[in-house]
Structure 1
Amino acid sequence: MILTREAITTAVEHGDIVIEPFAPERVSPNAYDWHLGDRIRVCEGDELDAAAATRVSEHVIPAEGMVLRPGRLYLGVTHERTHSERYAQMINGDRSLGALGIWVHVSAPLGHVGHAIRWTLEIRAAQPVKVYPLMPFGKIVFLSTAGATASYQHLGHKYTRTSGIDISRLYEELR
């Protein structure tokens, strides 16, 4: 079940959901509106290899904006850090971004119970589009779980302690 505005606000007040920084006005009827961070990585090369670490160049998104180009994979980061030991999380872009031809975080929207991160964002542009640091970029919903839960933090998964933009670590499994 997806939490409502009232349930999200109450969960934040009780510490069951952590959003840093938190702004009550960004709680929408069933989600929290999150922002793009101030850095972005551009994946380098014409071909990515799942069995090798991805080469990237990292850029600070200037206040005057940065143009994203089609045919490139960008890795961004949320401005907000989220965490909950009680609720699962699901992150998405929003309609405003989609109408600009920006696809964000299509392949891995689930944050398990215990996920405590600034989210790495997979970003693609359908045509050249300018983005800005800290611009509204999507929504995160919080989901009740059923059954016994185990914290993602304690299971030792490869993405448990990320604090910024993370490349694919699939190559670690393919060694």
Structure 2
Amino acid sequence: MRLSAPPGARGRGRVGDNCKADADCAAADLSTCDKTITHKCVCPATHQDVNGQCKTKGLGDKCTANADCVAVAKSICNTTVSHKCECPATHKFVSGQCKPKVIGAVCTAANAATECNLKYSECKNSTIMTCACVAGYHNKNDQCLADSSAESHRIAFYIFGASLLLTVFKTL
């Protein structure tokens, strides 16, 4: 149970404590007094209450609008399913940041080497030029992985080739 600031004590309130004015909430950086509904110290939408203090929202934190997620560049608020800050479909989560995905990125023949810089990817033309996995590979989490049938064919080819070489050397 958190103790509230004593009546008349200004500036000692934390998030969730009763208040009459913003000055009552000074103990929690960035918090203000919700003077219309709850009369409690609250965090701005871009922050959340962590042990009575306002801390910046990050990926996975609850949100109601994209503005709530500004602490992580390129992140958005998923307002239809999870109501949490996350990377948009065109980006992936890497070390706490939203980084652009390579597969599906727009490219040109001139910038293919820099835009499509994943192993086994290339700049392909469907309706527009985009980075895609080469034939025999598929996209999984923005990586081009060998199709299982293509991998099986490659392994079979190598085994067949090795067997053929052994047979040739045995006859010599």
Q: Which has the higher strand share?
A: 1
- Fold shared, TM-score > 0.5 on shorter chain: no
TM-score normalized by the length of structure 1: 0.18
TM-score normalized by the length of structure 2: 0.18
Q: Which has the higher helix share?
A: 2
Structure ranking higher on relative contact order (CA contacts 8 Å, 6+ apart)? 1
